[in-house]
Structure formats: structure tokens, C-alpha cells
Amino acid sequence: SFEDGHRMWLRYETVKNIELLEQYKSRFASVVLNDNSGTMSAIKKELKIGLKGLLSIAPQFRRTIDRDGAILISTPESPALKTSLKKVLIKELKSVGNEGFILQKRSVNGYDTTIISANTDIGLLYGTFHLLRLMQTGKSLSRLNIKEFPEVQLRVANHWDNIDRSVERGYAGLSLWDWKTLPNYKDPRYTDYARLSSSVGINGVVINNVNANAEFITSRYLDRIATLANIFRPYGIKIYLSINFNSPQLLGNLNTADPLDEDVREWWRSKVQEIYNKIPDMGGFLVKADSEGQPGPNTYGRTHSDGANLLADALKPHGGIVMWRAFVYGEKQEDRIREAYDEFVPLDGEFNDNVILQVKKGPLDFMPMEPFSPLFGAMPNTNTMIEFQVTQEYLGNANHLLYKGKMYNKILMSDTYAHGKGTLVGDIISGKIFKYNLTGMAGVINPGTARNWTGHPFVQSSWYAFGRLAWNYQLDPDKIAREWIQMTFSNEEKVVEKIQKIMSISSEAAVNYREPLGLTHIGTGSHYGPAPWSKRSQIFHHADEVGIGFNRSTSGSSAVSQYHEPLASEFNNLSTIPEELLLWFHHVRWDYTMKSGNSLWEELVNHYHVGVNQVREMQELWDFLENEIDTERFNHVKSLLEIQERDAVRWRDACLLYFQSFSRKEIPKRYEQPK
């Protein structure tokens, strides 16, 4: 089959297991739904596509249940339901909210029926995708009783797309949004994008780069954006816009953008009104302010909360929100990773209730390995959401095979100790600890016009995992990987097993051959290759004759103190710090004895070699799949793994040779390369 990756995880391959195939067909004797909204039509459309692929049948849509094996897709209001059943469903749906659903087998009018029920049509759509997923992953439908609802409210894809269709940190072609042919031409890809997003529960999309071009909120673009909003709406997806804080000056000819200036406030009110006239359900704004050259309230002697509240006030009457990013750093601080915490903690409680602080997962950036940001757990009175990156900015771009599900899981499951033991980052961002009225998870996804959307086919797996974890942060990342493989590649156990192994190794490998033991930011300016010798890298690794690593303990920058106890002490102490974060927090002697008994130098050498070997293991595992999956994807990934192996060797050799010039220690003989 021709380049199957373009359908991503909505591939809907024919069910090969005959028993399951028969069972599924018998459950789909008819489909009863009331096609009275865009969302219900989307459900119908998805079922047509899905059942054609999975079962080679066309669904029989009916108005009433008149046979065994019906699928009833309905809110409790449906005329197809008797009062008694209505009452039962209303009760059961109390706990699932606006987006949740139940999926169960029941007898209706004496007929054996599968019910998808929800309080809203969107809930029904999520339930439908869930049912399709069960079939894609070979699950039995004979005893269904599922209740699902999302753990966080805002599950938002962030695109870093520019107005000229280039994509910042995008490695998969041009931006999906074609401003030159919108609003007239509605590329079917926009609908596929909405289907894919909705299938994993994503309900928001920021369509433009955080380094925002102000033009996006001019009428010329708003008309086009409104067209996208119309396409996304039936799929439960709201559009959000990144705005430039200086817009009143750039677009409105004001001579200031001071958030406390009355003309500025009026300008935003009327701009927001204009936007809502065109897009009545626009979600709100995402703002990068006073960071990396972006304008912001600091220019006018105002705080982040002044800036955020200015926009929040303008959006409030329309139900819009502000996602205000905490990714800030100037050149002023000795230790950049301290900055977000130092700037935002004093502002806790100053933000309006329709503002949510969007905090990157770690205190630095989207590094291969870093601790969780200490802001999680430090903002009891400010809604706080987490930002992950799907696109592989620091992780081999679209050339390296990487599944990030395990990396996300690690952060979400980190204990902040904000309210004693067991206060996980996931608990914080889902509002369980501080009673946030807004909760959310953002993922910088950066797909593009590449036929398979993401460049490397496995970037899809991180996109998928982001959506699934935003829905439920407690999901097991290995199970998510399994689902994705089954939906994307095959249900054959030997295939699933091999690919799962590859994905499982991939995140460890990525750290080992690049930045092990808590090293960070030692890449080139483009963030692709190794450059430990660069000025910027030196600021982070601090290698010298004595040792290597950044002293952030209480004898250094004291960034450890931004964490709650007992974590602060655990990080501060060489004997208790997890070794994977050792050099993040400490400058350690080359001859320091590690837990393994190796010296630090030997351990570093070992990690880099293990990393390269892991990539080779991934290659071997992949080679098993030669005749098990389609040739196109097999060959594509095989070639990319060759590049990854080459790069892993480069990272290893560049880093070790450079660090060796400080450590002046030998690379142990056992690591010698065959000549």
C-alpha cells in the first residue's frame, strides 16, 4: 500500500482476526443516531470511514432500535429512549461533565444494544472515537462498561506557524494553514487534522507562533481563521491566537502598549469584539511576553499580571481566556533556570480567574532531561498548565526515532511535595490540589505539509501520547505506545512487541548519546548536533580540570531551593540526588565515585556508549519488520535510523573527546572501537 502513514493512527485497517471481525459486525447491525448537528454529522462520517476500513461494511443508519446489535449514539434527550432509560443515563452521566461519555452494553426495548451516551454531542464524538479505537486495537466489545472523562479542561495543540507558512522548530514542511487559498479553498486536510486531534481528545489549537506576527488579528486574516474555526467546531476544537503584546502600537497607531493606559485597554476591547464578531467561540489568546525579544508589560514598568489581566478583561465578556507563558528569561541572571520561578511566584494570586499560566515542563526549555519546573506546586492561587513539546527541537528534529510518552509521564508523575508526599505534577495541573478553575495541557506539535504530517513517522506517536495524556495523565505510556502501534502499524503481536521495544528504548537512548547524567544544552545553535565547545554550552556544562556540571546547590545558584522539601535537600545532597540529574544540580569531580562504583568520568563514557548501542539495538529490532509492515514505512524508518546511528556516534565522540581535554583521563579500553 502506498505510504500509509498519512492517515496516522486513523488508519482503520481491516480486522484480521476472524472471530473479532464477526463479533464487531454483529455489534454494528444498525446505528441509531439523530443527525441534527455538525458534530453528529462528523460522527456519521467517521463511522462510515472507520467501518469501511475495519469491517468492510457501510453502517445502516436507523431512527429506532428494532433489532439486536444496534449502536445507539445519543444524549439522554433522544426521542429514541424510553423515560426509564433516560433517567438511568442522566444519573450515570452526572459525573462525566461536558466532554465525557459512557459506553456500555444494555438491553433497550428488549434488544441487545451498545450505547454511547454523553451530556453533549462532543462527548458522543469522543465516545465514538473510543469505540473505534477498541476495534482498531483488537478489544472485545462483548462486555462493555466504560466511563471516561478528561482530567484537564484545556487540551491544546500549539503550532509555531508563521504567516509566511514557515514553521519555527517545524521539520515537516510548510504550515498546514494555506493563507493564500483560504477562505475559499477548504483543503480536506483541515478536516483530517480536526479528526485526528479530536480522536485523542484535543479540544484547542493555537494556530500561530508564540513569536507572534501582529497581522494575524487583522481582518484580512481573521476571515480566513474563521473558516478554519468553522471546520474545527464540529470536532469540539476551539481556535486560540498567539498575540503580539505591542499590537496597539503595531496595528492601532497608539504610541504605547502600556497595559494600564485607558486607550490601550479600549483598543484591546474593540479588537477582541471584532474577533468575536467573526469567530463567536474563539478560545482566547496565548501570550509570550518579555521573553527572547518579545514585547511585554515590563517595557512599561508593569508586571506580567498587569499584562495578562489587560487581555483577560477584554476577553472576559466573551468567555475567552488568556494562556500567559512563563517561559521568560533575559540575560540578567547568572542562572537562567531560576528566572521563571523568581519572576512569577511573587505574582501568585494577582492574575484574573480567566488567566492560566502556561509553564514549560522543565525550568529551562524542552531539554532531553531536566527536572520538572518548580513552578508546579508553587502557585496555589494562579491557574497553572503544563507545556510539552512534541516536535523534536533538541532531539534530532524529524531525523531521529523517539517516543516521548515516557518523558511526559516522568514529569507528570514527579512528586512536587507541594502538599506533602504524593502531590504529583499531574495532580497539580488537573486542579486537584489547588482548586484551579482552569486546567490545561499544551503540546507544541508543529506538523506540516509532509505527506505523513510529521516528517519522521514516529513523531506521530508523541503527538498521540500528548493527546491521550492530556485526557488522562495517569495513563501508562507503554500502553499508549501499544495502542498507537496497533492503530498505526499492525495488530500482529510480533510487530507490536518489536516496535514497542524500540519505542521504549528510544527515550533513554536519546538522553544517553546526547546529554546523560543531567547535562544540558550542549547542542549547536540549530539545536541539532553536538557543540560542547560553544560558548553557550560552556555556560551550562561548566567543564573544567576539576570536574563538570552546574552548581545549583545551596553553595551555588541555589536553584535547588525553589523545590519543596524534602526534594530541595534531596537535590542538594550528592548522596541522594538521582544520578540522572546529577550534573544539572552539581559540579562534580571527575573522579567522584558513582553508585555503580565507576568514577564520574567512566560513567559518562559508559552512558555515551550505551546510547550508541541502544540505537544499534533499535536498528536490529527494526530490521525484523522487513516483511511484516509496508515497504514504504519500513524503508523510510530504516534510512532514518542510519542517520540517527551516525548522529549518535557524533554526539558521543564529540562530547567525550571535548570533555576528555578537561578530565585528562583515558577512555577505558573496553570501549575501544574495532579498527
Residues lying near ligand GCU in the complex (CB under 6 A) are found at: 168-169, 210-211, 288, 327, 365, 393
Q: What are phi and psi of 588, to 5 degrees?
A: -120, 140
Closest to ligand GCU by CB, 210 vs 605, is 210
Beta strands 101-108 and 145-148, pairing class: antiparallel
Cβ 17 to ligand GCU shortest distance, Å? 45
As measured in angstroms, the least distance from the Cβ of 280 to ligand GCU is: 29
Q: State yes or no: is 623 an active-site residue.
A: no
Per DSSP bridges, beta strands 238-243 and 204-206 are: parallel
Nearer to ligand GCU, 258 or 387 (CB): 387
Amino acid sitting at position 583: L
Q: Residue 318 corresponds to which cell in the numbers above?
A: 466573551
The DSSP annotation for 41-96 comes to: HHHHHHHHHHHHHHHS----EESS--STTEEEEE-TT-TTS-HHHHHHHHHHGGGT
Nearest residue to 254 (alpha-carbon basis) of 242, 267, 236, 243: 267
Please state the closest distance from residue 286 (CB atom) to ligand GCU, in A. 10
At 516, list the grid cell. 546523560
Residues 6+ apart with CB under 8 A from 632: 1, 2, 3, 4, 5
The whole-angstrom separation of Cα 121 and Cα 99 is 9
Q: Which residues are CB-contacts of 295 (< 8 A; sequence separation ≥ 6)?
A: 244, 245, 246, 257, 289
Query: Measured between alpha carbons, how far is 257 from 145 in angstroms, rounded to an integer?
Result: 54
Rounded to whole angstroms, the Cα distance separating 486 from 16 reads 12
CB closer to ligand GCU out of 6 and 169: 169
Task: Give the shortest CB-626-to-ligand GCU separation in angstroms.
Answer: 37
Cell numbers for 227: 473558516
Query: Least separation, in Å, of the C-beta of 515 and ligand GCU?
Result: 16
Nearer to ligand GCU (CB atom), residue 148 or residue 393: 393
Alpha-carbon distance 459 to 81, whole Å?
43
- Would you give the distance in Å from CA 266 to the centre of its chain? 35
Specify the residue for cell string 474563539: 282
CB of 189 to ligand GCU, least distance (A): 24
| Residue number, 289 or 355, with CB nearest to ligand GCU | 289
Please tell me the number of Cα atoms within 13 Å of 215 on its side-chain side.
9
CB of 359 to ligand GCU, least distance (A): 11
Active-site hit among 148, 306, 339, 365: 365
DSSP state letter for 558 = -
Identify which of residues 288 and 361 has a Cβ nearer to ligand GCU in the complex.
Answer: 288
Shortest Cβ distance from residue 153 to ligand GCU (Å)? 22
- Residue pointed to by grid coordinates 487540551: 155
Our CA dihedral for 283, 288, 290, 292, rounded to 10 degrees, sits at -170
Strand segments, DSSP code E, in 445-599 are 547-548, 588-589
Coil, helix or strand at residue 358 = strand
Q: Minimum Å distance from CB 203 to ligand GCU? A: 22
Catalytic pick among 77, 223, 292, 476:
292
State which residue, 327 or 489, has the beta carbon closest to ligand GCU.
327
> Is the bond preceding 183 in cis, omega lying within 30 degrees of 0?
yes
CB closer to ligand GCU out of 431 and 447: 447
Question: Which of the following is catalytic: 46, 258, 393, 647?
Answer: 393
Strands 70-74 and 30-32, by their bridges, are parallel
- The smaller minimum CB distance to ligand GCU, of residues 99 and 161, is found at 161
Tell me the closest approach of the beta carbon of residue 324 to ligand GCU, in angstroms.
13
393 annotated active-site = yes
b/e burial code for range 535-573 (CB count within 10 A of at least 16 → b): eebeebbbbeeebbbbbbbeebbebbbbbbeebbebbbe
Q: Where are the beta strands (DSSP E) in 1-47?
A: 30-32
Q: Among this protein's residues, is 544 annotated catalytic? A: no
Instruction: CB nearer to ligand GCU: give 215 or 492.
Output: 215
Catalytic site positions: 292, 365, 393
